[in-house]
Amino acid sequence: MPQTGAFSSRGTVEKPRILPVLAEFGKASVTGKAGLMAETTVTATPESAEGTEEGVRRRDFINVAAVSAAGVGGLATLLPLISQMAPSADVLAESSTEVDVSGIESGQAIKAVFRKQPLFVRRLTAKEIEEANAVDAGGLRDPQTLAERTLEGHEDLLVTMGVCTHLGCVPLGAAEGENKGEFGGYFCPCHGSHYDTAGRIRKGPAPLNLEVPEYAFITDSVIRVG
């Protein structure tokens, strides 16, 4: 009864021979796909030890060649995908927001949009600044001073994302007459998080202060966020 190429003429199982197969490849005559397919089904009889060796080696080479081809093919598929993932010009333009802050009076806040999310820009009163600075920042859940959350020389301008750090609701307090919570900053009614006048979490489940995005003054009155 014929044996498959995985067995030697002595009837024992041979281990795969990758390296010898590659060395033998130079001597192998490749006759196209049909020829290769034919080689994969070669069977060897106990009487033909040479046929067995040849069958095992060529089949192993086909396995190695198939894996290599799959690797190259995968890379060729990946490269266009990566280039498609690079942000287009209009996406880059959307990634920053300019806000004219000259019209925001002391005690007022405005809502803008930054990367499709609400952005709060607030002009603090002298009293609000005083309250923020009176707190021992080291004892806060997310320790930060007002100075660390504002630009030098512009401590009265608080720029934060209008997104609660608990589960992402939009807190109240930016519009006139809205509930500012127990600490006079922002209040998230979803689960009761209170932020102080520096936008720091003081009470409720939110784990972090309202995020301060990167921003800078590009003129005396305009900031660019992002």
Residues that bind ligand FES (CB under 6 A): 164, 166-169, 188, 190-193, 204-206
CA 13, distance to chain mean position in Å, is: 48
Residue 20 DSSP code:
H
Give the nearest distance from C-beta 92 to ligand FES in angstroms. 30
| Cβ count within 10 A of residue 31 | 10
CB of 164 to ligand FES, least distance (A): 3
Q: Give least dist CB 189 to ligand FES, A.
A: 8
Residue that the structure tokens 């009487």 belong to:
47
Q: What is the smallest separation between the CB atom of 167 and ligand FES, expressed in angstroms?
A: 4
Q: Which of 154, 166, 191, 194 is catalytic?
A: 191
* Cα 133 from Cα 151, distance rounded (Å): 15
Q: Please confirm, yes or no, whether 166 is among the known catalytic residues.
A: no
Q: What is the DSSP letter of 100?
A: E
Q: Are 110 and 104 in contact (CB under 8 A)?
A: yes
> Least distance to ligand FES from the beta carbon of 94, Å?
25
Q: What is the DSSP letter of 104?
A: -
> Closer to ligand FES at the Cβ: 156 or 178?
178
How far is CA 10 from each of CA 3, 46, 49, rounded to the nearest angstrom? Answer: 11, 7, 9
In angstroms, the CA 132 to CA 24 distance is 78
Contact 124, 106 (CB under 8 A): yes
Task: Specify the residue, 160 or 193, whose C-beta has the smaller distance to ligand FES.
Answer: 193
Nearer to ligand FES, 155 or 182 (CB): 182
Using the minimum distance from each CB to ligand FES, give the nearer residue, 55 or 162: 162
Phi and psi at 178, nearest 5°, equal -75, 155
β-sheet bridge partners, residue 4: 43
Give residue for tokens 């030697």: 8
Nearer to ligand FES, 154 or 191 (CB): 191
Catalytic positions, written as ranges = 191
